[in-house]
Amino acid sequence: MSTTVDLSLATRPSDADAVPGLIEDLTSLNGNWTEDDEETRHKMVIKARSLLQSLMTPREQMLQHTWADPGLDAALTTGVDVGLWKLMVKNGVDAVHKVDHLARSLGMDPELLGRLLRHVCAMGHLVEVAQDEYKLTNFTKSMSLDVIGDSYVCLLGGIGRSPIDFYKFLRETNWQNPVDAAHTAFHASYNSDVPNCMVYLGSIGMGPQMNHHMGGYRQGRLPWHHPKIYPVEKELFPGTDASSDAPLVVDVAGGLGHDIDEFKRNYPNHPGKLILQDRPTVIQDVKDIDPSIQRMPHDFLTEQPIKGARAYFMHSILHDWPDDVCQKILARLAEAMKPGYSKLLIFECVIPRTGAYWEATAGDMLMMTQLSACERTEDQWHQLIEGSGLGLKIVKFWSSGLSAVENVIECELA
Ligand SMILES: C[S@@+](CC[C@H](N)C(=O)[O-])C[C@H]1O[C@@H](n2cnc3c(N)ncnc32)[C@H](O)[C@@H]1O
């Protein structure tokens, strides 16, 4: 068995033999695909990525990762910061945009803007019409939306150094799995002692951008209460106290209220009352949600003021924290739950033992490199919920069966 790699390997297609089969697979998947068939689209994206990687040489992949992608990120983020994408859309979604004209409107050096857009175009995200003249693609059109564009400013501009410096943090922590929420790669990279990267983003004025990202990453995924995931009319409404002030769902750390408001829109005649909780600074930014939803500042590490709700719901919360903090959050909820009535509904990734989906592993890397937290496997969920001595048990993992990554993990007091 060879124990060295010849340099020539780095300059040949990574897997030429796989190319014909991948093209066949893609053609066959495409034959059965309609645009609303998300599952087939996911499979095609993975095959298309394998095709691209098979065709590219290792040297090209290295240049893509270390030159092209960081350069693209620099251009995209600058575009959001200076208002480029919004301006291009305002000037005409399908118009031809001249660099000179854009640069004048933005007060930018035209030579600089020309270089940025040339790379964005070379990476496939603009259509070149003539020298320094471009049309937007659907992706660059979408960069004008806050829920897409602001993600670059906060995750790359705000806290982008944490994953890059992660290896240094691991060196210092002796390559241990990070589980200390108070000492993360973020803390080391930014030499910061604030509680965590979310508080840090708020402290540097990027709270709104972070909230926009929260609204953006969820787009296109089924909501927790979709009948394909958790059929609320069968599982939650029957047996619920129907009086108007009886708490039906408390959305714990529900952010700006995307989930609870969508629930209200989809089930306007639900029994009882809906409550949105989050930190005071987030609750004060809540806009445009149904006025019947009660907004309540609440720190989930303190006593839960709403007792005996039918459901305490948490979406993308426990993945932000290592097990010791999760246990504290869960303890405050278990104390407030009414035996035989209250449910705890956790809407999170459940990573399978094999064949993990890339959005789930990417989320896990994000949680690990920023928060010393994690996306959890089914075994880890059992261990966290049932092994914490809080008297909670998992009743069922509710999944749509699609590769969409979030399940409703239904829990009750044992
Ligand atoms: C990843 S976001 C998820 C928000 C929302 N559930 C969603 O899915 O869009 C995490 C949320 O936890 C909130 N949070 C962090 N620490 C908190 C605390 N101690 N008490 C209450 N909420 C907190 C943040 O303000 C943020 O809104």
Q: Is residue 156 located within the same domain as residue 272?
A: no
Residue 73 lies inside a defined structural domain of this protein: no
* C-alpha R_g of the chain: 24
Q: 64 in a domain, yes or no? A: no
Give the span between the Cα atoms of 120 and 135, in whole angstroms: 11
319 CA closest ligand 1 atom index: 1
Residue 328 near residue 318, CB atoms below 8 Å: no
Pick the closest to residue 172 from 372, 390, 332, 342 (CA basis). 372
- What is the per-residue pLDDT for 343? 98
Q: How large is the ipTM?
A: 0.99
362 and 227 in a common domain: yes
**In a domain? residue 61:** no
Same domain, 283 and 317: yes
- Give a yes or no: residue 231 inside a domain: yes
One domain, residues 151 and 247? no
* Residue with CA nearest ligand 1 atom 27: 255
Which residue's CA is the nearest one to ligand 1's atom 6? 254
Question: 258, 304, 317, 346: which to mutate for ligand 1, most atoms within 8 A of CB?
Answer: 317
Residue 194's SS3 state is coil
Q: How far apart are CA 378 and CA 385, in angstroms?
A: 11
Q: How many domains does the chain have?
A: 4
Buried b (16+ CB within 10 A) or exposed e, 230-260: bebeebbbeebbeeeeebbbbbbbbbbbbbb
Examine residue 179 and state whether it is found in any structural domain, yes or no: yes
Residues 6+ apart with CB under 8 A from 95: 88, 135
Atom of ligand 1 nearest to the CA of 320: 1
> Is 226 among the residues known to form the active site?
no
What distance in Å separates the CA atoms of residue 162 and residue 172, rounded to the nearest whole number?
14
Q: 290: which residues sit within 8 A by CB, 6+ positions away?
A: 261, 264, 265, 274
State the 10-residue block means of pLDDT for the chain, 414 residues long.
94 98 98 91 96 98 98 98 98 98 98 98 98 98 97 98 98 98 97 96 94 87 93 96 96 94 97 97 91 98 98 97 97 98 97 91 97 96 94 94 82 96
Residue 282 — φ and ψ, nearest 5°? -80, -45
Is residue 99 included in any domain, yes or no? yes
pLDDT confidence of residue 404: 62
For residues 217 and 192, give the distance between their C-alpha atoms in angstroms, rounded to a whole number: 26
- The three-state secondary structure class of 214 is helix
Distance CA 413, CA 334 (A): 7
**Does 346 lie in the same domain as 305?**
yes
User: In terms of domains, do 158 and 111 share one?
Assistant: no
> Are residues 290 and 398 part of one domain?
yes
Q: Which residues pair with 353 in a beta bridge?
A: none
Give the DSSP H/E element, type plus range, for residue 223: none
Whether 196 and 260 map to the same domain: the answer is no
| 283 and 184 housed in the same domain | no
Q: Round to whole Å and give the CA distance between 404 and 108.
A: 41
Calculate how far, in angstroms, residue 278's C-alpha sits from the geometric centre of ligand 1. 6
In the set 212, 225, 258, 319, the catalytic residue is 319
Q: How far does residue 240's CA lie from ligand 1's centre (Å)? A: 26
Residue 315 pairs with which residues in a beta bridge? 347
Nearest atom within ligand 1 for CA of residue 282: 25
Helix axes 378-386, 323-336, angle to 10 degrees: 60
Taking the alpha carbons of 214, 406, 195, 184 in that order, is the dihedral positive or negative? Answer: negative
Ligand 1 centre and the CA of 275: distance in Å? 14
CATH number for position 319: 3.40.50.150
Q: Give the binding-site residues of ligand 1, using a 6 Å CB cut-off.
A: 198, 214, 253-255, 258-259, 278-279, 282, 299-301, 315-317, 320
Q: Which helix (H) or strand (E) holds 174?
A: none
* pLDDT value for 84: 98
Query: Does residue 140 share a domain with residue 238?
Result: no
CA–CA dist 260, 152 (Å, integer): 26
- Same structural domain, 291 and 306: yes
71 burial (CB, 10 Å; 0-12 / 13-18 / 19+) is: middle
The domain in which residue 409 lies consists of 218-413
User: Is residue 353 included in any domain, yes or no?
Assistant: yes
DSSP structure string for 265-319 = HH-TT-SSEEEEEE-HHHHTT--SS-TTSEEEE--TTS--SS-S-SEEEEES-GG
Distance between Cα 317 and ligand 1 center (Å) = 6
Type and span of the H or E element at 348: strand 343-351
Residue 67 within a domain: no
Question: What CATH number does the domain containing 106 carry?
Answer: 1.10.10.10
The HSE-up count of residue 401 (CA atoms within 13 Å, CB side) is: 2
> Are 122 and 252 part of one and the same domain?
no
